[in-house]
Every structure is written in structure tokens, then in C-alpha cells.
């Protein structure tokens, strides 16, 4: 039984993600990773229930559990990377409130790669987990990971006091933490959706359409930041505009990418524009945090990002971190003496449209495979190439269309990228019709 998707194990709370499953997953994880293991959770209904099962599973395999409580993923990962032998965070991240996730990380704080995931699945399936003797069952240790992260970020954020920042943490794990960290750095912070709730007041995924309240107030601030529930994803607003994830990714690439950088195959062609002018190589990888982190390590890349709003700054950080991304963007704004809008205006405009169609979990990959086989036999007019890596990507002279099965939701995603909005719309409509014809 395969359990892991592109970002841990996900499903509906108390139907797919149950205490029984969480217990067995934690026992399997605790049979692969041993020592000091951190556990944290997000704010949604059922997270505490699943967290308790995870803790019990880890204790039963003889591991010492360090309980971090409700915590943004980047602060959890930072604590693991600096002090722990591994960790599990219970979070649905950007997904709807009914979705729960169990996300194991390794000693580097990154999502476990597929070799470890398959090892955990094997133990889960055959029931051959470790069992500690009665005198090797450790008590939990309670830790303050926020205090440690504050010290980490203070070293990164010298001379940034005085900025005016609007924060929208989606009533999630970052509420009361992100704003406090920025205030401690001497910034003037205004927070919306800043009380923690089981169900956020806005959709949990940060997108242009979900951050309209932030966009409207952004003219009163240097920048606005909008995160998902566990605050690994972030979008930025300024002067009444929400900037695309790829535009922000390109700004970071210009200043942080050296010889090589990593990004998934669904990133905008804009990154190639920056690479040609800045002289670095773009390494493309399949979609998902495990692949990005693995490729960064494999190719010794100096920077990575994905179009969901995750920006990664190696070698110490191998995960998306909304707080560190905010600090690094403010450093660029400060050093260049330009607004975010001025920085973004230096790049050509590429239009990306992102759509999705609901498909049953058991069928989504088969449908994408059939579409790939069909397109290889029937090359669309004007297409230069068909790439079948993590889905089906049709490459044109100045644009592309990507159709892939989501690893986190029961949907097939359709992405297009083109130099005009009209062309991007035509491509995504073509992709949606393809999917509908094969359902």
C-alpha cells in the first residue's frame, strides 16, 4: 500500500487520516529514524488527536519525543535541523480544513525522500515495527522552538527595523508568531486573520484570489505577506498588487542563485530569462518538497523555489520558510533602494493560469498516463516536444502546458505559461478539455 504523496500522507480527518493510521505510521517511522524526534501540529480540527497518536507510536519504538505544540512548519523544521534526529509535523498545510496531513522529515529538517518513505511504507504494511522494552519508553520533553527560531532570524535580519508590514497568516499556526517575530525585529506590523482558528476565515491556500483583503490594504505598507496554515508558503503584496510566485522566485534567483538553482517543471519560463542574464543553470525536478530538497543537495544548488510560494535558501534551509523569505526580500528592497513593484518591473511578464479538475484518487494518474500516450501519438499543432516527467508537459516555442496528477489532493492540475494572457487561457482550456475527454 502506497501512502506518501508529494508532501507526506494526506486525507480526510478521521476517515483517511485516523489515530490508528497515525500510530502505525509513527511506529514505522520510529523504526527507521531513532533518537530525539520532534513533533508539532497545525490549528485544524483533529490535529491534536492525530498528534497524540504520533507521539504514542514514536514512544512505543523507544524514541524520545520533543513536543513543540502548534507551530509553523519552518520553525519546526529549523528546530529539527539544529537539534533533532528527525520529526513529524501534523498539518494539512494549504489544503481545505477537512484535510489532514502527516509529514515526516529527516535529520536535515527536509521532507523525507522516497527511499525512506518506501522503507516506512514497507514496515507499515508488514507490521514489523520496533517495539521498545518497558524500561526504554521515554517521557515527552516540551520545547520552545519559537525562541530558538527568533535567535536564528535575528542573525539574518540586521538593520531591517522600521519597515511597515501587513501580515495575513490565515488564522493558522503562524498567527501570533510571525507578527511577533517581525515586531521583535523592530518592524511596524499590522495583522489580519491573526487569531488562531480550526477553520480559517479565508481559504487556506495563498493565491491572488484569496488575498484580496491583503491586496486592498497593501498601499499602506512596504509589503504585505500572506501565508498558508503552516506558513511554508507565502505570497507578497505591494502598492495594491499581489505579485506572482514566479516573479518573486525570479527576484530571489537574481540575488541568491549562483552556479545552479533548482525548480520544478511547472515553474514559469521567466526563470530561464533570469538564468540567461545572470549566468546560472536551472535544474528542473519533479513537483514536491522531497524532490526539490533532494535535487538541491544532489547538485549543490544555491537556491530553489516552487510556484506555490515556497522559496528555499540552502545550505541550512531545505524547506519553504515564509519568515526567512520575507526577511530576504526586505534585504533586497533595502539594499537596492527600490520598492517591490520596481523590482518586479525589471522582468518581462509571463502569464500563468492554474486550474484543476476533481478526479478520484485511484484514477488520476491513469488518466494522465493515457493523455501522455495520446499526445505522443498525436502531437498538438505548434508543439515542439512532449515531456513525460511528473505528468505531461507540452512545450511550444514560447509557452507550455502541463497536466499532472496532484500528489496532495484528488485532482488533476492543469497549468499553462505564456507571454500573453489570451494564449495562456487557450492552452489551459485545451488541457481541461483533454482531461474531461479522458475521465
pLDDT digits (tens, 9 = 90+) for 30-50: 999 999 999 999 999 999 999
Task: Report which of 4, 2, 7 is spatially closest to residue 264, judged by C-alpha positions.
Answer: 7
pLDDT per residue as tens digits for the range 213-226: 999 999 999 999 99
Task: Delimit the domains of the chain by residue range.
Answer: 9-144, 157-243, 247-322+334-344, 351-438
pLDDT at res. 79: 99
d(CA 215, CA 226): 10
Compute CA 287 distance to the chain's CA centroid, rounded to the nearest angstrom: 10
pLDDT at res. 2: 86
If residue 264 lies in a helix (H) or strand (E), which one and from where to where? strand 260-264
Fold of 351-438: TATA-Binding Protein (3.30.310)
Strand order in the sheet with 99-105: 9-12, 99-105, 86-90, 36-41, 64-70, 141-142
Q: Which residues are catalytic?
A: 93
Architecture of the CATH domain 247-322+334-344? 3-Layer(aba) Sandwich (3.40)
One fold for 247-322+334-344 and 351-438:
no
Outline where 219-360 has alpha helix (H): 245-256, 270-278, 289-299, 322-336, 340-344
Task: Report which of 99, 11, 103 is spatially closest to residue 54, judged by C-alpha positions.
Answer: 103
d(CA 359, CA 300): 37
pTM of the entire predicted model: 0.91
pLDDT (tens, 9 = 90+) of the chain, 439 residues, equals 789 988 899 999 999 999 999 999 999 999 999 999 999 999 999 999 999 999 999 999 999 999 999 999 999 999 999 999 999 999 999 999 999 999 999 999 999 999 999 999 999 999 999 999 999 999 999 999 999 999 999 999 988 999 999 999 999 999 999 999 999 999 999 999 999 999 999 999 999 999 999 999 999 999 999 999 999 999 999 999 999 999 999 999 999 999 999 999 889 989 989 999 999 999 999 999 999 999 999 999 999 999 999 999 999 999 999 999 999 999 999 999 999 999 999 999 999 898 999 999 889 999 999 999 999 999 999 998 898 888 999 999 889 999 999 877 899 999 999 999 999 999 999 999 999 999 8
pLDDT per residue as tens digits for the range 47-73: 999 999 999 999 999 999 999 999 999
Q: Which CATH number fits domain 9-144: 3.40.50.450, 3.30.830.10, 3.10.20.30, 3.40.120.10?
A: 3.40.120.10
Q: Are 101 and 44 in contact (CB under 8 A)?
A: no
Superfamily the domain 157-243 falls into: Alpha-D-Glucose-1,6-Bisphosphate, subunit A, domain 3 (3.40.120.10)
Q: Answer whether the bond into residue 315 is a cis peptide, omega within 30°.
A: yes
The β-bridge relationship of strands 86-90 and 99-105 is antiparallel
DSSP letter at 17 equals B
Amino acid at each position: 500500500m502506497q501512502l506518501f504523496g508529494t508532501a507526506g500522507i494526506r486525507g480526510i480527518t478521521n476517515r483517511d487520516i485516523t489515530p490508528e493510521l497515525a500510530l502505525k505510521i509513527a511506529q514505522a517511522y520510529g523504526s527507521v529514524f531513532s533518537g530525539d524526534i520532534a513533533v508539532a501540529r497545525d490549528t485544524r480540527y483533529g490535529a491534536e488527536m492525530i498528534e497524540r497518536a504520533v507521539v504514542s507510536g514514536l514512544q512505543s519504538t523507544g524514541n524520545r519525543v520533543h513536543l513543540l505544540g502548534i507551530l509553523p512548519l519552518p520553525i519546526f523544521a529549523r528546530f529539527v535541523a539544529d537539534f533533532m534526529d528527525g520529526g513529524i509535523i501534523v498539518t494539512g498545510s494549504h489544503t481545505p480544513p477537512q484535510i489532514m496531513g502527516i509529514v515526516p522529515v529527516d535529520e536535515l529538517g527536509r521532507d523525507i525522500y522516497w527511499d525512506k518513505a518506501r522503507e516506512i511504507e514497507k514496515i507499515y504494511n508488514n507490521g514489523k515495527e520496533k517495539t521498545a522494552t518497558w524500561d526504554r519508553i521515554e517521557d515527552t520533553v516540551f520545547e520552545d522552538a519559537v525562541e530558538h527560531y527568533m535567535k536564528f532570524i535575528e542573525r539574518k535580519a540586521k538593520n531591517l527595523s522600521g519597515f511597515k508590514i501587513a501580515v495575513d497568516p490565515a488564522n493558522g499556526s503562524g498567527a501570533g508568531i510571525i507578527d511577533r517575530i517581525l515586531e521583535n525585529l523592530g518592524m511596524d506590523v499590522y495583522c489580519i486573520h491573526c487569531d488562531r482558528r480550526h477553520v480559517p476565515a479565508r481559504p487556506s491556500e495563498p493565491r491572488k484570489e484569496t488575498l484580496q483583503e491583503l491586496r486592498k490594504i497593501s498601499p499602506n505598507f512596504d509589503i504585505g505577506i500572506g501565508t498558508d496554515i503552516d506558513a511554508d508558503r507565502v505570497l507578497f503584496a505591494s502598492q495594491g498588487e499581489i505579485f506572482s510566485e514566479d516573479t518573486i522566485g525570479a527576484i530571489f534567483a537574481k540575488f541568491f542563485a549562483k552556479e545552479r538553482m533548482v525548480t520544478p517543471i511547472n515553474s514559469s519560463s521567466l526563470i530561464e530569462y533570469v538564468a540567461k542574464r545572470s549566468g546560472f543553470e536551472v535544474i528542473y525536478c519533479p513537483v514536491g518538497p522531497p524532490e526539490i530538497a533532494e535535487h538541491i543537495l544532489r547538485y549543490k544548488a544555491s537556491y530553489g523555489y516552487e510556484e506555490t510560494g515556497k522559496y528555499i535558501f540552502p545550505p541550512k534551509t531545505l524547506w519553504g520558510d515564509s519568515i526567512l523569505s520575507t526577511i530576504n526580500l526586505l534585504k533586497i528592497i533595502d539594499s537596492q533602494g527600490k520598492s517591490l513593484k520596481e523590482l518586479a518591473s525589471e522582468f518581462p511578464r509571463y502569464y500563468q493560469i492554474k486550474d484543476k479538475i476533481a478526479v478520484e484518487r485511484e484514477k488520476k494518474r491513469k488518466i494522465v498516463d493515457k493523455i501522455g500516450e495520446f499526445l505522443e501519438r498525436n502531437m498538438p499543432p505548434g508543439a515542439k516536444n512532449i515531456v513525460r516527467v511528473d505528468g505531461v508537459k507540452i512545450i511550444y516555442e514560447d509557452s507550455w502546458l502541463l497536466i499532472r496528477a496532484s500528489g496532495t489532493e484528488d485532482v488533476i492540475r492543469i497549468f499553462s505559461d505564456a507571454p500573453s494572457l489570451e494564449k495562456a487561457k487557450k492552452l489551459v482550456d485545451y488541457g481541461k478539455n483533454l482531461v474531461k475527454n479522458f475521465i
